[in-house]
Chains A and B, each alone.
Chain A
Amino acid sequence: MHAVQRRSPRVRQIFLLPALLATALVPALARSSECPSTDPRALAWLDKMSRALSEVDYQGVVTYERGDDTQVMNISHSVSGGQEEEHMSLLVGKGGDVMRKAHPLECVHPGHQLLRLDASSTDDCGISRFYRIDVVGQERVAGRPSIQLTIAPRDMFRYGYRLALDSETGLLMKMQILGKGGVPLERFQFASVSVGSPSTDQELTLNDEAAAHHAKHPVMHAAKQVAPWHVHWLPAGFTLAADADPRGHSQTYTDGLAVFSIFLEQPDRPLPPGEGMVRKGGTTTYTRGIKRADGVVLATLIGEVPLNTARMVVDSIRWSP
Protein backbone atom coordinates (compact mmCIF):
# COMPACT_ATOMS: atom_id res chain seq x y z
CA MET A 1 0.00 0.00 0.00
CA HIS A 2 2.94 2.40 0.60
CA ALA A 3 3.67 2.53 -3.07
CA VAL A 4 0.07 3.49 -3.73
CA GLN A 5 0.12 6.26 -1.15
CA ARG A 6 3.01 7.97 -2.87
CA ARG A 7 0.93 8.28 -6.05
CA SER A 8 -1.14 11.30 -7.01
CA PRO A 9 -4.58 11.65 -5.35
CA ARG A 10 -6.39 10.66 -8.55
CA VAL A 11 -4.44 7.46 -8.91
CA ARG A 12 -5.08 6.67 -5.28
CA GLN A 13 -8.80 7.00 -5.91
CA ILE A 14 -8.52 4.46 -8.66
CA PHE A 15 -6.95 2.04 -6.26
CA LEU A 16 -9.41 2.78 -3.50
CA LEU A 17 -12.38 1.36 -5.36
CA PRO A 18 -11.08 -2.13 -5.87
CA ALA A 19 -9.95 -2.07 -2.26
CA LEU A 20 -13.47 -1.20 -1.08
CA LEU A 21 -14.93 -3.73 -3.40
CA ALA A 22 -12.53 -6.36 -2.13
CA THR A 23 -13.61 -5.74 1.45
CA ALA A 24 -17.22 -6.29 0.46
CA LEU A 25 -16.35 -9.52 -1.26
CA VAL A 26 -14.13 -11.12 1.35
CA PRO A 27 -15.91 -14.50 1.44
CA ALA A 28 -15.85 -14.82 -2.32
CA LEU A 29 -12.25 -13.69 -2.51
CA ALA A 30 -11.15 -16.18 0.11
CA ARG A 31 -12.21 -18.88 -2.31
CA SER A 32 -11.05 -17.19 -5.46
CA SER A 33 -7.55 -16.95 -4.00
CA GLU A 34 -7.47 -20.74 -4.43
CA CYS A 35 -8.33 -20.43 -8.06
CA PRO A 36 -5.65 -21.05 -10.68
CA SER A 37 -3.27 -18.06 -10.83
CA THR A 38 -5.75 -15.25 -11.20
CA ASP A 39 -5.71 -11.84 -9.61
CA PRO A 40 -8.76 -11.86 -7.25
CA ARG A 41 -9.16 -8.11 -7.83
CA ALA A 42 -9.67 -8.86 -11.52
CA LEU A 43 -12.51 -11.28 -10.73
CA ALA A 44 -14.13 -8.64 -8.53
CA TRP A 45 -13.90 -6.16 -11.41
CA LEU A 46 -15.62 -8.57 -13.80
CA ASP A 47 -18.41 -9.02 -11.26
CA LYS A 48 -18.77 -5.24 -10.97
CA MET A 49 -18.73 -4.85 -14.77
CA SER A 50 -21.52 -7.36 -15.24
CA ARG A 51 -23.75 -5.63 -12.67
CA ALA A 52 -22.95 -2.14 -14.00
CA LEU A 53 -24.07 -3.14 -17.48
CA SER A 54 -27.63 -3.67 -16.30
CA GLU A 55 -27.83 -1.30 -13.32
CA VAL A 56 -26.10 1.92 -14.45
CA ASP A 57 -27.71 4.63 -16.59
CA TYR A 58 -25.39 5.73 -19.37
CA GLN A 59 -25.35 7.06 -22.90
CA GLY A 60 -22.53 7.72 -25.29
CA VAL A 61 -20.92 7.33 -28.67
CA VAL A 62 -19.18 4.03 -29.41
CA THR A 63 -16.81 3.20 -32.26
CA TYR A 64 -16.54 -0.40 -33.43
CA GLU A 65 -13.81 -1.61 -35.78
CA ARG A 66 -12.98 -4.85 -37.52
CA GLY A 67 -10.61 -4.85 -40.47
CA ASP A 68 -11.49 -1.95 -42.74
CA ASP A 69 -14.99 -1.68 -41.34
CA THR A 70 -15.67 1.07 -38.79
CA GLN A 71 -19.08 1.64 -37.26
CA VAL A 72 -20.08 4.56 -35.06
CA MET A 73 -23.16 4.29 -32.88
CA ASN A 74 -25.10 6.02 -30.18
CA ILE A 75 -25.84 3.78 -27.23
CA SER A 76 -28.10 4.50 -24.29
CA HIS A 77 -29.15 2.44 -21.31
CA SER A 78 -31.54 3.39 -18.55
CA VAL A 79 -33.27 1.71 -15.66
CA SER A 80 -36.64 2.71 -14.28
CA GLY A 81 -39.16 0.78 -12.25
CA GLY A 82 -36.92 -2.29 -12.16
CA GLN A 83 -36.81 -2.51 -15.93
CA GLU A 84 -34.02 -1.83 -18.37
CA GLU A 85 -34.34 0.00 -21.63
CA GLU A 86 -31.58 -0.01 -24.24
CA HIS A 87 -31.17 1.74 -27.56
CA MET A 88 -28.54 1.52 -30.22
CA SER A 89 -28.49 3.79 -33.22
CA LEU A 90 -25.97 3.36 -36.05
CA LEU A 91 -24.68 6.76 -37.19
CA VAL A 92 -22.79 5.72 -40.33
CA GLY A 93 -23.38 3.56 -43.40
CA LYS A 94 -26.92 2.33 -43.81
CA GLY A 95 -27.84 3.42 -40.30
CA GLY A 96 -30.40 1.48 -38.32
CA ASP A 97 -31.82 1.31 -34.81
CA VAL A 98 -32.15 -1.46 -32.27
CA MET A 99 -34.10 -1.26 -29.06
CA ARG A 100 -34.84 -3.52 -26.13
CA LYS A 101 -37.58 -2.39 -23.79
CA ALA A 102 -38.99 -3.60 -20.49
CA HIS A 103 -36.19 -6.04 -19.72
CA PRO A 104 -36.58 -6.93 -16.03
CA LEU A 105 -33.47 -6.24 -13.92
CA GLU A 106 -33.75 -9.65 -12.27
CA CYS A 107 -33.54 -11.34 -15.65
CA VAL A 108 -29.84 -12.25 -15.45
CA HIS A 109 -28.78 -14.36 -18.42
CA PRO A 110 -26.34 -17.28 -18.08
CA GLY A 111 -23.41 -15.34 -19.58
CA HIS A 112 -23.67 -12.72 -16.85
CA GLN A 113 -24.21 -15.29 -14.13
CA LEU A 114 -20.83 -16.74 -15.11
CA LEU A 115 -19.14 -13.38 -14.50
CA ARG A 116 -20.75 -12.74 -11.11
CA LEU A 117 -19.23 -13.90 -7.85
CA ASP A 118 -22.00 -15.64 -6.02
CA ALA A 119 -21.47 -15.60 -2.26
CA SER A 120 -23.65 -18.69 -1.83
CA SER A 121 -21.68 -20.78 -4.29
CA THR A 122 -19.01 -23.15 -3.02
CA ASP A 123 -17.00 -23.07 -6.21
CA ASP A 124 -16.42 -19.51 -7.27
CA CYS A 125 -13.39 -19.39 -9.46
CA GLY A 126 -15.76 -18.03 -12.08
CA ILE A 127 -14.27 -17.85 -15.51
CA SER A 128 -10.72 -17.96 -14.10
CA ARG A 129 -10.71 -21.70 -14.75
CA PHE A 130 -10.76 -20.93 -18.45
CA TYR A 131 -9.03 -17.56 -18.61
CA ARG A 132 -6.12 -15.96 -16.83
CA ILE A 133 -7.32 -12.51 -15.80
CA ASP A 134 -5.03 -9.71 -14.66
CA VAL A 135 -5.37 -6.06 -13.73
CA VAL A 136 -2.54 -4.48 -15.70
CA GLY A 137 -2.87 -0.72 -15.34
CA GLN A 138 -4.92 2.36 -15.95
CA GLU A 139 -5.81 4.39 -18.99
CA ARG A 140 -8.21 7.15 -19.97
CA VAL A 141 -11.17 6.26 -22.16
CA ALA A 142 -13.71 8.89 -23.26
CA GLY A 143 -12.12 11.28 -20.79
CA ARG A 144 -12.68 9.02 -17.78
CA PRO A 145 -10.08 7.05 -15.79
CA SER A 146 -10.40 3.32 -16.32
CA ILE A 147 -8.80 0.07 -15.20
CA GLN A 148 -7.15 -2.18 -17.78
CA LEU A 149 -7.67 -5.94 -17.62
CA THR A 150 -6.12 -8.64 -19.78
CA ILE A 151 -7.96 -11.90 -20.20
CA ALA A 152 -5.87 -14.68 -21.72
CA PRO A 153 -7.42 -18.04 -22.62
CA ARG A 154 -6.05 -21.09 -20.80
CA ASP A 155 -6.75 -23.33 -23.80
CA MET A 156 -6.90 -22.95 -27.57
CA PHE A 157 -10.68 -23.07 -27.82
CA ARG A 158 -11.36 -19.37 -27.18
CA TYR A 159 -9.97 -15.91 -27.84
CA GLY A 160 -8.29 -13.46 -25.48
CA TYR A 161 -9.55 -10.01 -24.53
CA ARG A 162 -8.26 -6.69 -23.35
CA LEU A 163 -10.78 -4.59 -21.45
CA ALA A 164 -10.92 -1.12 -19.95
CA LEU A 165 -13.51 -0.66 -17.18
CA ASP A 166 -14.65 2.69 -15.88
CA SER A 167 -12.93 3.16 -12.51
CA GLU A 168 -16.01 4.64 -10.91
CA THR A 169 -18.85 2.49 -12.19
CA GLY A 170 -17.18 -0.61 -13.65
CA LEU A 171 -18.79 0.00 -17.05
CA LEU A 172 -17.06 -1.65 -19.98
CA MET A 173 -15.52 1.29 -21.83
CA LYS A 174 -13.27 -0.48 -24.29
CA MET A 175 -12.81 -4.06 -25.47
CA GLN A 176 -10.50 -5.82 -27.88
CA ILE A 177 -10.85 -9.42 -28.98
CA LEU A 178 -7.38 -10.90 -29.43
CA GLY A 179 -6.53 -13.82 -31.70
CA LYS A 180 -3.47 -16.00 -31.57
CA GLY A 181 -0.33 -14.10 -30.62
CA GLY A 182 -2.42 -11.28 -29.18
CA VAL A 183 -3.38 -9.97 -32.63
CA PRO A 184 -6.47 -7.71 -32.32
CA LEU A 185 -9.40 -9.08 -34.34
CA GLU A 186 -11.93 -6.40 -33.47
CA ARG A 187 -12.39 -3.63 -30.96
CA PHE A 188 -14.94 -1.18 -29.65
CA GLN A 189 -14.67 1.76 -27.32
CA PHE A 190 -16.63 4.70 -26.05
CA ALA A 191 -15.54 7.96 -27.71
CA SER A 192 -17.69 9.92 -25.29
CA VAL A 193 -19.94 8.87 -22.46
CA SER A 194 -22.08 10.38 -19.76
CA VAL A 195 -23.07 8.39 -16.72
CA GLY A 196 -26.26 9.00 -14.79
CA SER A 197 -29.78 9.92 -15.83
CA PRO A 198 -29.78 11.81 -19.11
CA SER A 199 -30.83 15.44 -19.18
CA THR A 200 -33.56 16.05 -21.75
CA ASP A 201 -31.26 17.48 -24.42
CA GLN A 202 -28.99 14.45 -24.08
CA GLU A 203 -31.74 11.95 -24.61
CA LEU A 204 -31.13 9.74 -27.56
CA THR A 205 -33.24 10.31 -30.61
CA LEU A 206 -33.58 7.29 -32.81
CA ASN A 207 -33.16 7.63 -36.58
CA ASP A 208 -36.59 6.19 -37.09
CA GLU A 209 -38.31 4.67 -34.10
CA ALA A 210 -41.05 3.04 -36.17
CA ALA A 211 -38.46 1.15 -38.24
CA ALA A 212 -36.32 0.15 -35.26
CA HIS A 213 -35.31 -3.49 -34.90
CA HIS A 214 -36.63 -4.99 -31.68
CA ALA A 215 -33.90 -7.00 -30.02
CA LYS A 216 -35.02 -10.59 -29.54
CA HIS A 217 -35.26 -12.11 -26.13
CA PRO A 218 -35.34 -15.88 -25.70
CA VAL A 219 -38.68 -17.26 -24.60
CA MET A 220 -38.37 -19.06 -21.30
CA HIS A 221 -40.19 -22.38 -21.36
CA ALA A 222 -41.89 -23.72 -18.30
CA ALA A 223 -41.13 -27.28 -19.29
CA LYS A 224 -37.64 -28.31 -20.29
CA GLN A 225 -37.54 -28.58 -24.06
CA VAL A 226 -35.80 -31.57 -25.51
CA ALA A 227 -34.15 -30.72 -28.79
CA PRO A 228 -33.99 -33.55 -31.35
CA TRP A 229 -30.21 -33.06 -31.50
CA HIS A 230 -27.38 -32.13 -29.15
CA VAL A 231 -23.69 -31.35 -29.24
CA HIS A 232 -21.58 -34.15 -27.86
CA TRP A 233 -18.57 -31.91 -27.16
CA LEU A 234 -18.16 -28.34 -25.94
CA PRO A 235 -15.05 -26.47 -24.84
CA ALA A 236 -14.90 -26.55 -21.03
CA GLY A 237 -16.85 -23.73 -19.39
CA PHE A 238 -19.43 -23.27 -22.12
CA THR A 239 -23.04 -23.63 -21.06
CA LEU A 240 -26.45 -23.27 -22.71
CA ALA A 241 -27.23 -19.55 -22.96
CA ALA A 242 -30.96 -20.01 -23.40
CA ASP A 243 -33.51 -22.79 -23.50
CA ALA A 244 -33.31 -24.79 -26.68
CA ASP A 245 -35.42 -23.45 -29.52
CA PRO A 246 -38.58 -25.62 -29.34
CA ARG A 247 -38.57 -26.02 -33.12
CA GLY A 248 -35.12 -27.56 -32.74
CA HIS A 249 -33.54 -25.07 -35.11
CA SER A 250 -30.93 -23.47 -32.90
CA GLN A 251 -28.90 -23.65 -29.70
CA THR A 252 -26.67 -20.99 -28.12
CA TYR A 253 -23.76 -21.45 -25.74
CA THR A 254 -21.65 -19.01 -23.70
CA ASP A 255 -18.65 -19.02 -21.39
CA GLY A 256 -19.42 -15.52 -20.09
CA LEU A 257 -17.24 -13.71 -22.62
CA ALA A 258 -17.81 -15.53 -25.89
CA VAL A 259 -21.11 -16.69 -27.39
CA PHE A 260 -21.74 -19.05 -30.25
CA SER A 261 -24.99 -20.18 -31.79
CA ILE A 262 -25.68 -23.26 -33.90
CA PHE A 263 -28.44 -23.23 -36.51
CA LEU A 264 -29.76 -26.29 -38.33
CA GLU A 265 -31.63 -26.23 -41.63
CA GLN A 266 -32.51 -28.38 -44.61
CA PRO A 267 -30.76 -27.17 -47.76
CA ASP A 268 -33.11 -25.95 -50.50
CA ARG A 269 -31.54 -28.40 -52.95
CA PRO A 270 -29.69 -31.73 -52.62
CA LEU A 271 -26.07 -31.21 -51.63
CA PRO A 272 -23.04 -33.44 -51.14
CA PRO A 273 -21.46 -33.24 -47.65
CA GLY A 274 -18.89 -30.47 -47.26
CA GLU A 275 -17.85 -27.46 -45.22
CA GLY A 276 -17.24 -23.75 -45.70
CA MET A 277 -16.41 -20.76 -43.56
CA VAL A 278 -16.28 -16.98 -43.45
CA ARG A 279 -14.44 -14.91 -40.88
CA LYS A 280 -15.04 -11.26 -40.09
CA GLY A 281 -13.19 -9.68 -37.20
CA GLY A 282 -13.62 -12.04 -34.27
CA THR A 283 -16.69 -13.73 -35.70
CA THR A 284 -16.41 -17.12 -37.34
CA THR A 285 -19.21 -18.54 -39.45
CA TYR A 286 -18.80 -22.22 -40.21
CA THR A 287 -21.27 -24.24 -42.26
CA ARG A 288 -21.11 -28.03 -42.51
CA GLY A 289 -23.25 -30.32 -44.61
CA ILE A 290 -23.82 -33.39 -42.42
CA LYS A 291 -24.85 -36.58 -44.16
CA ARG A 292 -27.96 -38.21 -42.74
CA ALA A 293 -30.10 -41.07 -44.01
CA ASP A 294 -32.54 -38.73 -45.76
CA GLY A 295 -29.97 -36.32 -47.18
CA VAL A 296 -27.61 -33.61 -46.06
CA VAL A 297 -28.51 -31.32 -43.13
CA LEU A 298 -26.78 -27.94 -42.91
CA ALA A 299 -25.35 -26.97 -39.52
CA THR A 300 -24.05 -23.40 -39.17
CA LEU A 301 -22.12 -22.12 -36.18
CA ILE A 302 -21.71 -18.36 -35.70
CA GLY A 303 -19.66 -17.04 -32.85
CA GLU A 304 -16.60 -15.32 -31.47
CA VAL A 305 -14.56 -18.51 -31.26
CA PRO A 306 -11.61 -19.84 -33.31
CA LEU A 307 -12.39 -21.83 -36.42
CA ASN A 308 -11.23 -25.09 -34.88
CA THR A 309 -13.61 -24.72 -31.98
CA ALA A 310 -16.45 -24.17 -34.45
CA ARG A 311 -15.43 -27.20 -36.48
CA MET A 312 -15.07 -29.45 -33.45
CA VAL A 313 -18.42 -28.45 -31.95
CA VAL A 314 -20.27 -28.97 -35.25
CA ASP A 315 -18.39 -32.22 -35.71
CA SER A 316 -19.93 -33.45 -32.45
CA ILE A 317 -23.60 -32.86 -33.35
CA ARG A 318 -25.63 -36.02 -32.68
CA TRP A 319 -29.29 -36.72 -33.18
CA SER A 320 -31.39 -38.36 -30.52
CA PRO A 321 -32.39 -41.88 -31.57
Chain B
Amino acid sequence: MSELMRESLSALMDDRASELELERLLKHSGDKELRQTWVRYHAVRNAIGGQATASLSIDISAGVRAAITGEAETSETPSAQPSKIQSLLRPVASLAVAASVAAVVVVGGVQWGQSGDSSGYNPPVSIASGVSPVGMLNRSGAVPVQMTYGSQPLSPNRAEVRAVYRELARRNMERYMADHAAHASLNTPQGMVPYAKVEAL
Protein backbone atom coordinates (compact mmCIF):
# COMPACT_ATOMS: atom_id res chain seq x y z
CA MET B 1 0.00 0.00 0.00
CA SER B 2 1.42 3.36 -1.02
CA GLU B 3 2.31 6.19 1.33
CA LEU B 4 -0.27 8.27 -0.55
CA MET B 5 -3.04 5.82 0.38
CA ARG B 6 -1.90 5.79 4.00
CA GLU B 7 -2.09 9.58 4.07
CA SER B 8 -5.55 9.59 2.49
CA LEU B 9 -6.70 7.03 5.00
CA SER B 10 -5.38 9.09 7.86
CA ALA B 11 -7.08 12.20 6.42
CA LEU B 12 -10.38 10.32 6.17
CA MET B 13 -10.12 9.30 9.81
CA ASP B 14 -9.66 12.95 10.77
CA ASP B 15 -12.58 13.88 8.55
CA ARG B 16 -10.27 15.92 6.35
CA ALA B 17 -10.21 13.81 3.20
CA SER B 18 -10.83 15.68 -0.04
CA GLU B 19 -13.25 14.34 -2.65
CA LEU B 20 -10.28 13.12 -4.66
CA GLU B 21 -8.82 11.24 -1.73
CA LEU B 22 -12.21 9.76 -0.90
CA GLU B 23 -12.65 8.55 -4.45
CA ARG B 24 -9.16 7.04 -4.46
CA LEU B 25 -9.89 5.18 -1.22
CA LEU B 26 -13.27 3.95 -2.43
CA LYS B 27 -11.69 2.68 -5.63
CA HIS B 28 -9.32 0.56 -3.53
CA SER B 29 -11.82 -0.37 -0.85
CA GLY B 30 -11.53 -4.02 -1.84
CA ASP B 31 -7.83 -4.02 -1.00
CA LYS B 32 -7.27 -6.28 1.99
CA GLU B 33 -4.22 -4.42 3.26
CA LEU B 34 -6.03 -1.10 3.07
CA ARG B 35 -8.94 -2.49 5.07
CA GLN B 36 -6.70 -3.98 7.72
CA THR B 37 -4.85 -0.68 8.06
CA TRP B 38 -8.20 1.07 8.50
CA VAL B 39 -9.17 -1.30 11.31
CA ARG B 40 -5.72 -0.94 12.91
CA TYR B 41 -5.83 2.87 12.81
CA HIS B 42 -9.14 2.80 14.61
CA ALA B 43 -7.87 0.34 17.19
CA VAL B 44 -4.92 2.64 17.86
CA ARG B 45 -7.13 5.66 18.16
CA ASN B 46 -9.50 3.82 20.49
CA ALA B 47 -6.59 2.66 22.61
CA ILE B 48 -5.30 6.24 22.88
CA GLY B 49 -8.80 7.34 23.80
CA GLY B 50 -8.91 4.66 26.48
CA GLN B 51 -11.59 2.54 24.81
CA ALA B 52 -11.27 -1.18 24.39
CA THR B 53 -11.45 -2.63 20.91
CA ALA B 54 -13.78 -5.58 20.59
CA SER B 55 -11.87 -7.52 18.02
CA LEU B 56 -9.54 -6.75 15.16
CA SER B 57 -10.49 -9.78 13.17
CA ILE B 58 -14.22 -9.32 12.56
CA ASP B 59 -14.98 -7.86 9.16
CA ILE B 60 -18.69 -7.81 8.34
CA SER B 61 -18.30 -5.77 5.18
CA ALA B 62 -18.15 -8.80 2.90
CA GLY B 63 -21.41 -10.12 4.35
CA VAL B 64 -23.12 -6.74 4.03
CA ARG B 65 -21.94 -6.39 0.46
CA ALA B 66 -23.18 -9.87 -0.40
CA ALA B 67 -26.54 -9.08 1.16
CA ILE B 68 -26.86 -5.86 -0.82
CA THR B 69 -25.84 -7.51 -4.06
CA GLY B 70 -28.25 -10.37 -3.41
CA GLU B 71 -31.11 -7.99 -2.76
CA ALA B 72 -30.29 -5.92 -5.81
CA GLU B 73 -30.34 -9.02 -7.95
CA THR B 74 -33.69 -10.28 -6.66
CA SER B 75 -35.28 -6.89 -7.16
CA GLU B 76 -34.16 -6.87 -10.76
CA THR B 77 -35.07 -10.40 -11.78
CA PRO B 78 -38.60 -9.57 -13.05
CA SER B 79 -37.21 -7.54 -15.93
CA ALA B 80 -35.91 -10.38 -18.03
CA GLN B 81 -35.30 -8.20 -21.05
CA PRO B 82 -34.46 -4.76 -19.75
CA SER B 83 -35.44 -1.87 -21.94
CA LYS B 84 -33.05 0.97 -22.72
CA ILE B 85 -34.62 3.17 -20.06
CA GLN B 86 -34.40 0.44 -17.46
CA SER B 87 -30.75 -0.16 -18.15
CA LEU B 88 -30.17 3.57 -17.83
CA LEU B 89 -32.00 3.68 -14.52
CA ARG B 90 -30.47 0.53 -13.09
CA PRO B 91 -27.49 2.23 -11.47
CA VAL B 92 -29.85 4.58 -9.67
CA ALA B 93 -32.06 1.71 -8.60
CA SER B 94 -29.23 -0.31 -7.16
CA LEU B 95 -27.96 2.74 -5.33
CA ALA B 96 -31.40 3.20 -3.82
CA VAL B 97 -31.40 -0.39 -2.62
CA ALA B 98 -28.17 0.36 -0.81
CA ALA B 99 -29.67 3.51 0.61
CA SER B 100 -31.50 1.91 3.51
CA VAL B 101 -28.28 0.39 4.75
CA ALA B 102 -25.97 3.26 3.89
CA ALA B 103 -28.27 5.95 5.20
CA VAL B 104 -28.32 4.42 8.65
CA VAL B 105 -24.56 4.21 8.76
CA VAL B 106 -24.25 7.83 7.67
CA VAL B 107 -26.87 8.94 10.17
CA GLY B 108 -24.93 7.33 12.98
CA GLY B 109 -21.91 9.43 12.15
CA VAL B 110 -23.63 12.75 11.72
CA GLN B 111 -23.04 15.37 14.38
CA TRP B 112 -26.56 16.33 15.36
CA GLY B 113 -27.29 20.07 15.53
CA GLN B 114 -27.27 21.77 18.87
CA SER B 115 -26.53 19.55 21.78
CA GLY B 116 -26.78 22.36 24.32
CA ASP B 117 -29.77 21.91 26.55
CA SER B 118 -31.16 25.41 26.54
CA SER B 119 -34.58 24.35 27.66
CA GLY B 120 -33.78 22.76 30.96
CA TYR B 121 -35.06 19.26 30.51
CA ASN B 122 -32.64 16.43 30.03
CA PRO B 123 -34.00 13.57 28.01
CA PRO B 124 -33.06 10.34 29.74
CA VAL B 125 -30.73 7.89 28.14
CA SER B 126 -33.15 5.98 26.02
CA ILE B 127 -33.37 2.38 24.98
CA ALA B 128 -35.31 1.51 21.89
CA SER B 129 -38.31 -0.61 22.62
CA GLY B 130 -39.04 -1.40 19.00
CA VAL B 131 -37.24 -3.54 16.51
CA SER B 132 -35.71 -1.70 13.62
CA PRO B 133 -36.46 -3.08 10.17
CA VAL B 134 -32.96 -2.23 9.00
CA GLY B 135 -31.46 -4.30 11.74
CA MET B 136 -29.71 -1.58 13.67
CA LEU B 137 -30.73 1.33 15.80
CA ASN B 138 -30.17 4.79 14.47
CA ARG B 139 -30.07 8.08 16.28
CA SER B 140 -33.19 10.16 16.59
CA GLY B 141 -33.20 12.93 14.05
CA ALA B 142 -34.11 16.44 15.04
CA VAL B 143 -32.09 17.91 12.20
CA PRO B 144 -32.30 17.30 8.46
CA VAL B 145 -29.83 14.72 7.27
CA GLN B 146 -27.76 14.97 4.16
CA MET B 147 -28.98 11.91 2.31
CA THR B 148 -26.81 9.49 0.47
CA TYR B 149 -27.49 6.76 -2.01
CA GLY B 150 -24.71 4.65 -0.64
CA SER B 151 -20.98 4.76 -0.88
CA GLN B 152 -20.84 4.30 -4.63
CA PRO B 153 -19.53 6.89 -7.08
CA LEU B 154 -21.88 9.73 -7.95
CA SER B 155 -24.30 9.08 -10.72
CA PRO B 156 -24.78 12.07 -13.00
CA ASN B 157 -28.54 11.74 -12.32
CA ARG B 158 -28.23 11.71 -8.58
CA ALA B 159 -28.52 15.44 -7.95
CA GLU B 160 -31.45 15.64 -10.32
CA VAL B 161 -33.27 12.72 -8.68
CA ARG B 162 -32.74 14.29 -5.29
CA ALA B 163 -34.09 17.62 -6.45
CA VAL B 164 -37.17 15.93 -7.92
CA TYR B 165 -37.90 14.08 -4.68
CA ARG B 166 -37.33 17.15 -2.53
CA GLU B 167 -39.87 18.98 -4.66
CA LEU B 168 -42.28 16.03 -4.41
CA ALA B 169 -42.00 16.08 -0.61
CA ARG B 170 -42.63 19.84 -0.55
CA ARG B 171 -45.63 19.53 -2.86
CA ASN B 172 -47.08 16.61 -0.90
CA MET B 173 -46.69 18.44 2.39
CA GLU B 174 -49.03 21.13 1.05
CA ARG B 175 -51.32 18.63 -0.59
CA TYR B 176 -51.84 16.31 2.35
CA MET B 177 -51.49 18.70 5.30
CA ALA B 178 -55.23 19.33 5.65
CA ASP B 179 -55.90 15.57 5.85
CA HIS B 180 -53.10 15.14 8.36
CA ALA B 181 -54.36 18.10 10.43
CA ALA B 182 -57.85 16.54 10.55
CA HIS B 183 -56.42 13.36 12.07
CA ALA B 184 -54.07 15.28 14.39
CA SER B 185 -56.96 17.43 15.67
CA LEU B 186 -58.96 14.30 16.56
CA ASN B 187 -56.12 12.19 17.97
CA THR B 188 -53.85 14.60 19.87
CA PRO B 189 -54.62 17.05 22.68
CA GLN B 190 -54.05 20.00 20.33
CA GLY B 191 -57.64 20.48 19.18
CA MET B 192 -57.89 22.70 16.10
CA VAL B 193 -54.33 24.06 16.38
CA PRO B 194 -52.82 21.64 13.78
CA TYR B 195 -54.90 23.47 11.14
CA ALA B 196 -52.54 26.44 11.58
CA LYS B 197 -50.05 24.35 9.56
CA VAL B 198 -52.27 24.14 6.50
CA GLU B 199 -50.97 26.56 3.87
CA ALA B 200 -54.25 27.29 2.14
CA LEU B 201 -57.35 26.71 4.21
A residues engaging B (CB < 8 A)? Answer: 46, 49-50, 53, 62, 64, 66, 71, 73, 75, 77, 86-88, 90, 94-98, 100, 109-112, 115, 129-130, 132, 136, 150, 152-157, 159-160, 162-163, 172, 175-176, 178-185, 188, 213, 215-218, 232-236, 241-242, 250, 252, 254, 256-261, 263, 267, 270-281, 283, 285-287, 289, 291, 293, 298, 300, 302-304, 306-309, 311-312, 315-316
B69 within 8 A of A: no
When each residue 79-108 of chain B gets 1 if its CB lies under 8 Å from chain A and 0 otherwise, what string results?
Answer: 000000100010011001001100100010
The interface residues of chain A lying within 8 Å CB-to-CB of B114 are: 181, 183
Given A261-B179, A287-B165; A183-B139 close (CB under 8 Å): no
B107 to A96, Cβ gap below 8 A?
Answer: no
The answer for the CA separation of A70 and B41 in the assembled complex, in Å, is: 50
The answer for the CA separation of A111 and B190 in the assembled complex, in Å, is: 11
A160 to B123, Cβ gap below 8 A?
Answer: yes
CB of A7, distance to nearest CB on chain B (Å): 22
**Those of B133-156 within 8 Å (CB) of chain A:** 133-134, 137-145, 147, 149
A254 to B123, Cβ gap below 8 A?
Answer: no
The interface residues of chain A lying within 8 Å CB-to-CB of B129 are: 129-130, 154-155, 236
In the complex, the number of residue pairs spanning A and B with C-beta atoms less than 8 Å apart equals 278
The interface residues of chain B lying within 8 Å CB-to-CB of A289 are: 96, 165
Cβ 8 A contact of B178, one of A62, A213, A300:
A213
A254 to B187, Cβ gap below 8 A?
Answer: yes
- For this complex, 21 residue pairs linking A to B, each with C-beta atoms less than 8 Å apart, are A75-B191, A96-B198, A110-B187, A152-B123, A156-B140, A172-B189, A181-B117, A213-B195, A232-B133, A233-B133, A242-B186, A259-B187, A261-B179, A263-B179, A272-B157, A287-B168, A293-B78, A300-B168, A308-B107, A315-B133, A316-B133
B180 to A279, Cβ gap below 8 A?
Answer: no
Cβ 8 A contact of A280, one of B133, B166, B173:
B173
A215 to B192, Cβ gap below 8 A?
Answer: yes
Number of interface residues of B (CB under 8 A): 79
B75, B132, B195: most-surrounded residue (chain A CB, <10 A): B195
Cβ 8 A contact of A179, one of B142, B149, B190:
B142
A250 to B141, Cβ gap below 8 A?
Answer: no
**Those of B167-189 within 8 Å (CB) of chain A:** 167-170, 172-173, 176-180, 182-189
B124 to A132, Cβ gap below 8 A?
Answer: yes
Closest A-B pairs by Cβ, 7 of them: A111-B187, A276-B165, A96-B201, A179-B142, A156-B140, A180-B142, A88-B192
Given A152-B124, A233-B133, A261-B180; A272-B96 close (CB under 8 Å): yes
A315 to B134, Cβ gap below 8 A?
Answer: yes
Given A53-B189, A156-B139; A236-B130 close (CB under 8 Å): yes
CB-nearest residue of chain A relative to B89? A272
Cβ 8 A contact of A180, one of B112, B168, B179:
B112
The interface residues of chain A lying within 8 Å CB-to-CB of B166 are: 276-278
A156, A217, A274: most-surrounded residue (chain B CB, <10 A): A274
The interface residues of chain B lying within 8 Å CB-to-CB of A281 are: 197
A183 to B113, Cβ gap below 8 A?
Answer: yes
CB of B117, distance to nearest CB on chain A (Å): 5
CB of B115, distance to nearest CB on chain A (Å): 5
A136, A263, A302: most-surrounded residue (chain B CB, <10 A): A302
A172 to B169, Cβ gap below 8 A?
Answer: no
B128 to A112, Cβ gap below 8 A?
Answer: no
B51 within 8 A of A: no
B162 within 8 A of A: yes
CB of A2, distance to nearest CB on chain B (Å): 27
Cβ 8 A contact of B189, one of A94, A175, A183:
A175
B196 within 8 A of A: yes
The answer for the CA separation of A110 and B184 in the assembled complex, in Å, is: 11
CB of A85, distance to nearest CB on chain B (Å): 11
A90 to B201, Cβ gap below 8 A?
Answer: yes
The answer for the CA separation of A302 and B188 in the assembled complex, in Å, is: 15
